[in-house]
Amino acid sequence: MCEQIRIVLRNAGNINPENIEDYLKNDGYLALAKALESTREEVIDIISSSNLRGRGGGGFPTGLKWKFTMQAKGDEKYVICNADEGDPGAFMDRSILEGDPHSVLEGMTIGGYAVGAKKGIIYIRAEYPLAVERLKNAICQAKEFGLLGENILGTSFSFDIEIRLGAGAFVCGEETALIHSIEGSRGEPRNKPPFPSTSGLWGKPTLINNVETFANIAPIILNGPDWFRQYGTKNSPGTKVFALAGDVKNVGLVEVPMGTTLREIIFDIGGGIKGDKKFKAVQTGGPSGGCIPIEYLDTPIDYDSLQNLGSMMGSGGMIVMDEDTCMVDVAKFYLQFTVDESCGKCTTCRIGNVRLLEILEKITSGNAHLEDLERMISLSNVIKNSSLCGLGQTAPNPVLSTFKYFEDEYKAHILDRVCPAGICKNLIRYEVIPQNCQGCTACARVCPTQAISGELRKPHFIDQTKCIKCGSCYSTCRFNAIKIV
Amino acid sequence: MPKIYINGDEFEASENDTVLTAVQKFGGYIPTLCYLNLKDINIENKPSSCRVCMVEIEGRKSLAPACTTPVSEGLRINTLSRQAVEARRTAIQLLLSDHPQDCLQCPKNGECDLQRIASELNIVKNPFMGKTTNYKQDISTAIIRDPNKCIMCRRCETMCNDFQTVGVLSAVERGFNAVIKPTFDLPLEETACTFCGQCVAVCPTGALEEDSYIDYVWKDLVNEKKHVVVQTAPAVRVALAEEFGFEPGTISTGKLVGALKLLGFDKVFDTNFGADLTIIEEATEFKERLENDGFLPMLTSCCPGWIKFLEHQFPDLIEMPSSAKSPQQMFGAIVKSYYAQKANLEPKNITVVSIMPCLAKKYEASRKEINSSPDYKDVDYVLTTRELAKMIKEAGINFTTVPERSYDNPLGESTGAAAIFGRTGGVAEAALRTTYEWLTGRELRTVEFQALHGYESLRVAEVDINGQIIKIGVAYGLGNARKLLEAIRDKKIDLHLIEIMACPGGCVGGGGQPYHHGNFEVIKKRIDALNVIDRTKIIRKSHENPYILRLYNEYLEKPGSEKAQQLLHTHYLEREWL
């Protein structure tokens, strides 16, 4: 049985997030005090040797990022906390910010000290009003206690944090787009290099980390890198918070050591598939991630293993899908999301992803030919290799990964004009099984287009020319008398 | 000096090189679309948004855009990689898939960068056709926007915001609907757009085009009741030949006049005559302001883009510009009064066409308060240099062999001072030549003021007139004009006369000129050509133009007279910045 380890969520739910004293009682700000007694280099050394990797999805070594920002020349530097959580169904960062805001403030302040910044900014989406309120409150309290502001803990180090609200564009989670947004420009990414560590906010060296990354800092400083590395795998130490959702019995946040297998998360912690249906795939990494099939359930998950499977860690979204899921439809769903959220700056993302979506629509509507699959793959690869930012580069992942593991399903839509999961409306038909039909008329009464006719207590009949495939009859029938063909 | 490898060959690049600049120095080629580098005016547009300049770099997972990827020691670049070439082709196919398929009827046909690169990359079919955006055209007096042809290269946005600081054009919406639009999605006409046309000058496709008046001109040319008079701006004669394959900087005054005569214009006159007239009126006003403690500095008023900029952005400084109309408008007013009287014609039966390097001139001709009568327009139609070239081609005139002709009189004679109106610093220099002689009563031996020559976008010159140091500021580009005006407003700079032209290098770099395709050298060569025209003129000071003198003797009486005020001066409007 797999165990959850709470490093990031150590306090969430256990302390009153609106009272700094609760945080202080749980070793709060001890790490900051310890850091301020060390040199900046020592702090960065601890983070570097802990091998902590960015929890925002990219998995870049945090210590290295801090080192680059520290080494970058500049009279002014900034620390930004990326709290623009936007993956559908993900709420890891929100829970941290709402449940333990000081852990993020403390991590940022330590980061500010290490890189030589005096100013921190939390970029958070406006749709998280409670998190914003608690952060504001926490900032006020930290200032009152001399843990933020001028001469922190009586040292010469000063650091202040302000909050910037994002308008909810998904792409603003991309660091350069986020920086443009703070600067008051259109939230669009730019080509890297230069990276924010050398040229970030207002062109100054900027340390930008995700909420969960910052929440890891204080425990690492306090307990040391060896303590941290005992959890997780060699290349991805520590824990990761996942938002487990979908067709799984127990949904919610889980924090597990890296290297835990998908099976442990889904079946041990998640309790298995709802309605005791069969597991089909799990989608990790949000809209940029991919779908992983049953064959890989025992893969220990970390940044590299997920990438090798054609998916990614992302910020920790994990959506479980049962046997009734159409994988082409899933790819379409995620791609629709990226199409809606694309900023429109670069050609391949702006137009390419729309064309890719059109191909998927053609497949799910039963109008595609085998050549369309070829086109789909070559276009996906160009979008992946040519797009400007992470959003565009990863947008085809759901398509490529579902095609990789469920090619047969794609082909069934094209060659047999059938959706094996019975999801794609254009490819299915509802029919009455006369032997089972009791003639109760329930289906006829719910049918919005009066497509079902039949006498009382006699088998009914569905007029296919009137049927809009809404599925109302299917879910109403108590005698299993309606089938999907 | 990083050592890099381009397709296997070693090359020593410089620290600041990008992959693109290094490959270009090496003599290689990578197609670019959104990238635009006008280094002489410090404008670089490299959003790396088109994804056309993709190259393969050894050891990197993804392809890299050459325009924004810096070189580093040991970098191995493969510009010929099949994967990169296929990516370029796909990017172009994707752009074309959301683009009207009307190249043959597009005004940009033959000048379009998208079309050129599509041809270079051998795009003969497009597997990615699909839904398309559908925006309405926005037609203003000077510029037509067709957002359906926009490829989001952001060049117009860069010119409008960074170079001109007008801030009308910017990207709006997102994803597939992302497009460049004016402030609050208003028609351009209702915004603070100055119609400088620099957006048009850099647009790689037909998304931004001049509003063409060619059809109206053809109609009047064949209308026997109409006496059609044409005037040609100074900068046209040094650029038109480019449209016919001549080298930039070719002076084609004689051919220009010859072609216009062949097109059927009844009289071919010269805006340069109007320029000389402008100097007389402007210098009179300047002298008057200098001697009577008038409002200083005096700003030149020849550039309609600049004037509209001032009206929107600095309405508090609206007393500063000279009230003298621009040469185009002075010329029109004189044709419809003095010339009409002389030729015994009704003003309404005269059509005045002007050939301009400029788009704002189209708008200027439509300004109500600038016209001398409510019954007719002083200038009926304004065509750009490009439109004139189209007419010449359409008529079947062989520009290479067209016989050289001279301008008609009485409105065709001009001085060297008028010629340099078309370049930055020229109006100020022309005004100085006259003012100097009028104020000192001495002959000016060296007519060229070297401090007013050159290509720098902001220059200040000092001239000693009767012991008084006259300070003259010269700027081109409205962003530079803004700096100058802000310095004046904050009393950080003390000047007597300021010349401002909206476009790079002055009118030679106007929005209506043959496309420079990002090559500023073309503009420099046009400037040099104007200086050659000036130097080869016997008369180089406006007040010595005998036809100008005759105009005053016969009609206007004296500079600044009541009649001159009525015909040759105007006023400006306070406007909002929208």
Helix, strand or coil, per DSSP, at residue A8: coil
User: Is it the case that residue A1 has pLDDT exceeding 60?
Assistant: no
Picking from A188, A355, A376, A394 by the largest number of B CB atoms within 10 A of its own CB, the best residue to mutate is A355
- With beta carbons less than 8 A apart as the criterion, state whether B151 and B35 touch: no
**Secondary structure (DSSP) of A68-131:** HHHHS--S--EEEEEE---STT--HHHHHHHH-HHHHHHHHHHHHHHHT-SEEEEEEETT-HHH
A339, A346, A351: residue with CB nearest B97: A351
Task: Write phi, then psi, for B50 (nearest 5 degrees).
Answer: -80, -25
A344, A379, A393: residue with CB nearest B90: A379
Fold of A327-415: de novo design (two linked rop proteins) (1.20.1440)
Q: How confident is the model at residue A89 (pLDDT cuts 50, 70, 90)?
A: confident
Peptide linkage before A193 cis (omega within 30 of 0): yes
Collect all residues of chain B within an 8 Å Cβ-Cβ radius of residue A188.
171
Contact B178 A344 (CB under 8 A): yes
What is the C-alpha radius of gyration for chain B, rounded to an integer number of angstroms? 25
Fold of A429-484: Alpha-Beta Plaits (3.30.70)
User: Is it the case that residue A58 has pLDDT exceeding 90?
Assistant: no
Q: How far apart are CA B401 and CA B397, in angstroms?
A: 9
pLDDT for B115: 98
Residue the block writes with tokens 């790079």: B504
Contact B175 A343 (CB under 8 A): yes
Query: Distance from B161 to chain A by nearest Cα, in Å?
Result: 12
Using a 10 angstrom Cβ sphere, with 0-12 exposed, 13-18 middle and 19 or more buried, the burial of residue B107 is middle
A387 reaches B (C-beta below 8 A): yes
Helix, strand or coil, per DSSP, at residue B447: coil
Peptide linkage before A194 cis (omega within 30 of 0): yes
3-state SS string over B124-185?
CCCCCCCCCCCCCCEECCCEEECHHHCCCCCHHHHHHHHHCCCCCCEEECCHHHCEEECHHH
CA-based nearest residue to B506, from B485, B538, B480, B488: B480
Tens digit of each residue's pLDDT (9 = 90 or more) over A217-238: 999 999 999 999 999 999 999 9
CATH number of A20-229: 3.40.50.11540
User: For residue A300, what is the DSSP state?
Assistant: B
Q: At what angle do helices A62-71 and A101-115 cross, to 10 degrees?
A: 40
Q: What is the ipTM of this complex?
A: 0.94
A172 reaches B (C-beta below 8 A): no
Tens digit of each residue's pLDDT (9 = 90 or more) over B39-79: 999 999 999 999 999 999 999 999 999 999 999 999 999 99
The two most distant CA atoms of chain B are separated, in Å, by 80
**Secondary structure (DSSP) of B295-345:** SSSEEP---HHHHHHHHHH-GGGTTSB-SBPPHHHHHHHHIIIIIHHHHT-
User: Is it the case that residue A126 has pLDDT exceeding 60?
Assistant: yes
Q: How far apart are CA A179 and CA A73, in angstroms?
A: 19
Distance (Å) of CA A92 to CA A211, A217, A243, B516: 9, 16, 6, 53
pLDDT above 70: percentage of residues in chain B? 100
Q: How far apart are CA B489 and CA B359, in angstroms?
A: 29
Query: Distance from B313 to chain A by nearest Cα, in Å?
Result: 21
Query: Distance from A337 to chain B by nearest Cα, in Å?
Result: 11
Long-range CB contact pairs, A466-475, < 8 A, 24+: A467/A429, A467/A430, A469/A425, A469/A428, A469/A429, A469/A430, A471/A430, A472/A443, A472/A446, A472/A447, A472/A448, A473/A430, A473/A443, A473/A446, A473/A447, A474/A430
Q: How far apart are CA B219 and CA B378, in angstroms?
A: 18
Average pLDDT value over all residues in chain B: 96
Contact A350 B87 (CB under 8 A): no
**Secondary structure (DSSP) of A373-418:** HHHHHHHHHHHHHH-SSHHHHHTTHHHHHHHHH-HHHHHIIIII--
Helix, strand or coil, per DSSP, at residue A363: helix
Helix (H), strand (E) counts: chain B: 19, 20
- With beta carbons less than 8 A apart as the criterion, state whether A102 and A20 touch: yes
User: For residue B514, what is the DSSP state?
Assistant: P
User: Is it the case that residue B351 has pLDDT exceeding 50?
Assistant: yes
Burial profile B156-176: b = 16 or more Cβ within 10 angstroms, e = fewer: bbbbbbbbbbbbbbbbbebbb
3-state helix, strand, coil in chain B (%, to 5): 40, 15, 45
- With beta carbons less than 8 A apart as the criterion, state whether A36 and A113 touch: yes
Residues spanned by CATH 3.40.50.11540 within chain A? 20-229
User: For residue B191, what is the DSSP state?
Assistant: T
Collect all residues of chain B within an 8 Å Cβ-Cβ radius of residue A388.
48-49, 51, 65
Helix (H), strand (E) counts: chain A: 21, 13
Contact A345 B127 (CB under 8 A): no
pLDDT for A315: 84
Sorted by sequence, the CB contacts under 8 Å of residue B21 that are 6+ apart come out as none
Contact A382 B69 (CB under 8 A): no
- With beta carbons less than 8 A apart as the criterion, state whether B413 and B545 touch: yes
C-alpha dihedral over B449, B451, B454, B458, to 10 degrees? -130
Task: Write phi, then psi, for B423 (nearest 5 degrees).
Answer: -125, 160
B57 reaches A (C-beta below 8 A): no
Average pLDDT value over all residues in chain A: 95
The amino acid at B460 = V
Query: Distance from A188 to chain B by nearest Cα, in Å?
Result: 10
Residue the block writes with tokens 């191909």: A359
**Secondary structure (DSSP) of A9-73:** TSSTTTS-TT-HHHHHHTTTTHHHHHHHHS-HHHHHHHHHHHT-B-TTTT--BHHHHHHHHHHS-
Distance (Å) of CA B514 to CA A41, B77, B159, B389, B508: 59, 35, 17, 9, 10
β-pairing, B54-57 vs B64-65, is antiparallel
CA-based nearest residue to B286, from B400, B405, B394, B432: B432
The amino acid at B406 = S
**Candidate list B112, B302, B303, B358, residue with the active-site label:** B302
Q: What does the pLDDT average to over A191-209?
A: 96
- With beta carbons less than 8 A apart as the criterion, state whether B230 and B408 touch: no
Picking from B97, B128, B148 by the largest number of A CB atoms within 10 A of its own CB, the best residue to mutate is B128
User: Is it the case that residue B99 has pLDDT exceeding 90?
Assistant: yes
Contact A358 B91 (CB under 8 A): no
Residue B507 annotated as catalytic? yes
pLDDT for B142: 97
B178 reaches A (C-beta below 8 A): yes
Q: How far apart are CA B351 and CA B377, in angstroms?
A: 9
Residue B354 annotated as catalytic? no
Helix, strand or coil, per DSSP, at residue A261: strand
Q: Which of residues 174-233 of A touch B (CB under 8 A)?
A: 186, 188, 190-191, 193
pLDDT for B455: 84
Sorted by sequence, the CB contacts under 8 Å of residue A16 that are 6+ apart come out as A22
Query: Distance from A142 to chain B by nearest Cα, in Å?
Result: 39
B87, B94, B176: residue with CB nearest A385: B87
pLDDT for A2: 61
Residues spanned by CATH 3.10.20.600 within chain A? 239-322
We find that the CATH architecture of domain A239-322 is Roll (3.10)
- With beta carbons less than 8 A apart as the criterion, state whether B92 and B117 touch: yes
Which helix or strand (DSSP H or E) is residue B480 part of? Answer: helix B478-489
Q: How far apart are CA B291 and CA A393, in angstroms?
A: 68
Residues spanned by CATH 3.30.70.20 within chain A? 429-484
Peptide linkage before B410 cis (omega within 30 of 0): yes
Picking from A351, A355, A372 by the largest number of B CB atoms within 10 A of its own CB, the best residue to mutate is A351
Collect all residues of chain B within an 8 Å Cβ-Cβ radius of residue A387.
51
Q: Give CA angle at B38 (B34, B43), nearest 5°.
A: 80
Tens digit of each residue's pLDDT (9 = 90 or more) over B251-278: 999 999 999 999 999 999 999 999 999 9
Contact B170 A350 (CB under 8 A): no
Name the closest residue on chain B to residue A387, using Cα atoms.
Answer: B51
Q: How confident is the model at residue A88 (pLDDT cuts 50, 70, 90)?
A: confident
Which helix or strand (DSSP H or E) is residue A484 part of? Answer: strand A482-484
Long-range CB contact pairs, B223-226, < 8 A, 24+: B225/B349, B226/B349, B226/B350, B226/B351
pLDDT above 90: percentage of residues in chain B? 93
Residues spanned by CATH 1.20.1440.230 within chain A? 327-415
CA-based nearest residue to A120, from A147, A100, A95: A147
Distance (Å) of CA A118 to CA A47, A124, A138, B29: 20, 20, 18, 46
Q: How confident is the model at residue B429 (pLDDT cuts 50, 70, 90)?
A: very high
Distance (Å) of CA A89 to CA A12, A105, A117, B49, B168: 19, 25, 34, 30, 39
Residue B544 annotated as catalytic? no
